[in-house]
Amino acid sequence: MELTPEEQRKRSQRNYAIAGVLLALVVLIFVVTIAKIGGNIASRPM
Amino acid sequence: MTVVATNDDTPRASLAGPADYIALLKPRVMSLVVFTALATIIVAPGSMNPVFAFTALLCIAIGAGAAGALNQWYDADIDAIMTRTRTRPVPSGRVTRQEALEFGGVLAFGSVLCMGVLVGYLAAALLALTIGFYLFVYTMWLKRLTVQNIVIGGAAGALPPVIAWAAATGSVAAPLPWLLFLIIFLWTPPHFWALALAGSEDYARANVPMLPVVKGARATRNHILVYSLIVAPVALAPYALGLTGPIYGAVAALGAAAFVVLAAMLWRASAQAERGAALRLFAYSIFYLFAIFTALAVERLLGFAPGA
């Protein structure tokens, strides 16, 4: 199936949107992890 | 990918853009949901870590959006008939029903999972309950069946403050979140009936048993007036019970008075003026809900709320 230029453009937009959402999810889980661990990292016994 | 083209049913690649998927989330409904949840998190006792507060709001927003997408999957036939909804992504053909179902399903599951793992399981359970209630009880069961559809279905839209309270405190054993639930629950019918009154032909063509279609405009106006008279004291209850401060009390009282006045104007309006009066009440009802939740949050931030 040949994609028309318009279909190609929309597919590319969707791909970028999905990439953005996945990236945001990674950042969210990272930040929540840090927040949950909180000060315990700094105060752990060395 | 090789697809053999045989006739006009040639599979086509999707022309849907990110904006169409955002439209599936019903962003305007989402904004009201997120706002009431945000205000509730601010007013809930204790101070919630901003990271968790943001995560909770995000999960509520995505969960509400997922419910909207699943609603558009199920109601594509109705949406295609109604003028107000026929440009939505599914009836206009940019997104297939199957895509809307998958999109909504994945987001519903994902938002509940994230809420559970990242914020708390009580909030996650309430979020799942809200999405399930909106989809199964309202969309699939009541909407096409009974004139009380939005009265009972309104519970789904009223739960976000309770979810937010659960996210912030880990419990829902407090009167304030349930009063906020009750306010939104009682606010929903007059809000929706005003809209339905302005577009009742639309609902009639789609065979949706909204109040104006089944009982007529007169009965709808009566119902709206009665509900506005019930919402007013309930909206004042948090102040009367000492759960909120004077700023909330003043905004709720003035706002409720204006709500009753607009409902009374609609009640008395001539047939020609009905549509205008109904749309005015509809627009005002949105402002009113924003106003009382803003007052709730601002009061707490300024330190005027009891226990702040």
Q: To which residue do tokens 């994945």 refer?
A: B106
Distance CA B44, CA B166 (A): 9
CA distance B85 to B78: 8
Q: What is the predicted pLDDT for the residue at A1? A: 78
Contacts with B21 (C-beta within 8 Å, 6 or more apart), sequence order = A14, A17, B89, B95, B103
- How big is the A-B interface in CB pairs under 8 Å? 44
Q: What percent of chain B has pLDDT over 70?
A: 96
Indicate if the pLDDT at residue B213 is higher than 90.
yes
Task: Tell me what pLDDT residue A44 has.
Answer: 74
Whole-model pTM: value is 0.92
pLDDT above 60: residue B3: no
Q: What is the pLDDT of residue B12?
A: 74
Alpha-carbon dihedral sign for residues B298, B302, B304, B306 = positive
The residues, ordered by sequence, that sit 6+ positions from B194 with a Cβ below 8 Å of its Cβ are: B224, B266, B278, B279, B281, B282, B285
Q: Give pLDDT, residue B9.
A: 58
What are the DSSP calls for A1-46, one per residue?
A: -PPPHHHHHHHHHHHHHHHHHHHHHHHHHHHHHHHHHGGGTTTS--
Q: What percent of chain B shows pLDDT beyond 90?
A: 90
Buried b (16+ CB within 10 A) or exposed e, B208-228: bbbbbbeeebeebbebbbebb
Side-chain half-sphere of B147: how many Cα atoms within 13 Å?
11
How far A46 CA sits from the closest chain B CA (Å)? Answer: 27
A 10 A CB-CB count for B147 gives: 18
* pLDDT-derived band at B177, boundaries 50, 70, 90: very high
pLDDT score recorded for residue B4: 44
- What's the rounded mean pLDDT across residues B71-93? 94
Residue reference for tokens 């702040």: B308
Structure tokens at B138: 């309202």
Q: Which is higher by pLDDT, A38 or B264?
A: B264
Range B163-176 average pLDDT: 97
pLDDT in tens, B243-284: 999 999 999 999 999 999 999 999 999 999 999 999 999 999
Q: Is the pLDDT of residue B8 over 80?
A: no
Name A30's Cβ contacts closer than 8 Å, sequence gap at least 6: none
B58 touches chain A (CB under 8 A): yes
Reported confidence tier of residue A38, pLDDT bands at 50, 70, 90: confident
CB contact under 8 A, B21 and A32: no
Q: B1 falls in which pLDDT band (50, 70, 90)? A: very low
Name B41's Cβ contacts closer than 8 Å, sequence gap at least 6: B48, B53, B56, B57, B164, B165, B167, B168
Partners of residue B10 in chain A, C-beta under 8 Å? 1
Structure-derived torsion over alpha carbons of residues B96, B99, B100, B102, reported in degrees to the nearest 10: 160
Give the model's pLDDT for residue B6: 44
- The yes-or-no verdict on residue B296 having pLDDT over 50 is yes
Mean pLDDT, to the nearest integer, of B90-119?
A: 96
* pLDDT-derived band at B10, boundaries 50, 70, 90: low
- Report the pLDDT averaged over residues B153-176: 97
Q: What is the 3-class SS of chain B, one letter each residue?
A: CCCCCCCCCCCCCCCCCHHHHHHHCCHHHHHHHHHHHHHHHHHCCCCCCHHHHHHHHHHHHHHHHHHHHHHHHHCHHHHHHCCCCCCCCCCCCCCCHHHHHHHHHHHHHHHHHHHHHHHCHHHHHHHHHHHHHHHHHHHHHHCCCCCCHHHHHHHHHHCHHHHHHHHHHCCCCCHHHHHHHHHHHHHHHHHHHHHHHHCHHHHHHCCCCCHHHHHHHHHHHHHHHHHHHHHHHHHHHHHHCCCCCHHHHHHHHHHHHHHHHHHHHHHHCCCCCHHHHHHHHHHHHHHHHHHHHHHHHHHHHHCCCCCC
Query: For residue range B64-74, what is the model confidence (pLDDT) as tens digits?
Result: 999 999 999 99
pLDDT for the residue numbered B107: 98
Determine the distance in angstroms separating the CA of A18 from the nearest CA of chain B, rounded to an integer. Answer: 9
Interchain CB contact of A6 with B (< 8 Å): yes
* Band of pLDDT at residue B11, cut at 50, 70 and 90: low
Q: Which two tokens stand for residue B100?
A: 């809307």
B8 vs B20: CA distance, rounded Å: 25
The answer to whether B14 contacts A7, with C-beta atoms less than 8 Å apart, is yes
B73-98: average pLDDT? 94
Residue B5 in this model has a pLDDT that exceeds 60? no
* Closest by Cβ to A28, choosing from B17, B18, B55: B55
